[in-house]
Amino acid sequence: MSSTIHLRARGLKQTYDLAGSHLHVLTGVDLDVAKGEVLFLRGASGAGKSTLLYILAGLEHPREGTVEFEEKQLFALKGDRQAVLRNQHMGFVFQSYFLLPELTALENVLLPAMIGGRQSKGNDSKARELLDRVGLSGRLDHLPSQLSGGEQQRVAIARALINDPSILFADEPTGNLDATTGAGIIDILLGLAREDGRTFVAVTHDPALAALGDRQLYLKDGHLV
Ligand SMILES: Nc1ncnc2c1ncn2[C@@H]1O[C@H](COP(=O)(O)OP(=O)(O)OP(=O)(O)O)[C@@H](O)[C@H]1O
Ligand SMILES: [Mg+2]
């Protein structure tokens, strides 16, 4: 594994203000993730794991602190440049699959490529290849409602990879699945990340799963230990 830093967070703080009280969820998170590293984030429910992951991926703005991704300051990018960077270099797999219900499996996978404006014939064959890699070549024309939970999550994984992200984020990707299906999903995710040398940052509650990574960190009292 190369020791090039892919993602660097410094002094991340996040506070939510509710009805006059302040919830200090992140109180100073520093993190370096190396290129190609597989990192698992753990911590109690409510510790702020999702919050941290969303900030690292630029999906949420921190109160304070910086995130540097591929040597760019994520929160200093103007206009839609941050969204473009996210679309072209980052993949995200959520606990709920967030597939569009009116689109087929194939169309859902193609969507980020179309949003990115890449109108190439290559996209269609790439989407088919990704669906094949996650074992769904027989489900291309199924709508999400016609797929099992594990199959929907596999479509979401293929969708996260369509633009060839250098980093893949996952927030409890097996949280809604039974243990056997969940283990299969993790095999696929980890396999795809490692085969292609992608950096992988995932939240999990499962210690056995977390042990499969290169490193585990715990979020406690607002920072990583
Ligand atoms: N937009 C928001 N406004 C107010 N409070 C929020 C908001 N988002 C999260 N919180 C609170 O911040 C805390 C951390 O939430 P977060 O979702 O990051 O936890 P988590 O570690 O991912 O938990 P889980 O393991 O249950 O998913 C929680 O107590 C939550 O209620
Ligand atoms: Mg969470």
More confident residue, 183 or 124: 124
| Ligand 1 neighbourhood includes 23 CB (under 6 angstroms) | yes
Nearest ligand to the C-alpha atom of residue 26: 1
User: How high is the mean pLDDT of the chain?
Assistant: 93
Structure tokens given for 106: 């194939």
pTM of the model: 0.94
| Ligand 1 neighbourhood includes 47 CB (under 6 angstroms) | yes
Which residues are within 8 A (CB) of 80 and not within 5 positions of it... i.e. 6 or more apart?
A: none
| Ligand 1 neighbourhood includes 16 CB (under 6 angstroms) | yes
pLDDT digits (tens, 9 = 90+) for 99-120: 999 999 999 999 999 887 766 7
pLDDT category of residue 209 using cuts at 50, 70 and 90: confident
**Over residues 202-223, mean pLDDT:** 93
pLDDT digits (tens, 9 = 90+) for 166-180: 999 999 998 888 888
Distance 50 CA to ligand 1 centre (A): 7
pLDDT digits (tens, 9 = 90+) for 125-165: 999 999 999 999 999 999 999 999 999 999 999 999 999 99
Nearest ligand to the C-alpha atom of residue 170: 2
pLDDT of residue 86: 94
Q: Is the pLDDT of residue 1 over 70?
A: no
CA distances from 76 to 59, 66, 155, 177 (A): 14, 9, 32, 37
**Structural domains of the chain sorted by starting position, each given as residue range(s) with its CATH number in brackets:** 5-219 (3.40.50.300)
19 phi-psi bin (left φ>0, alpha ψ -120 to 50, beta other) = left
Distance 93 CA to ligand 1 centre (A): 18
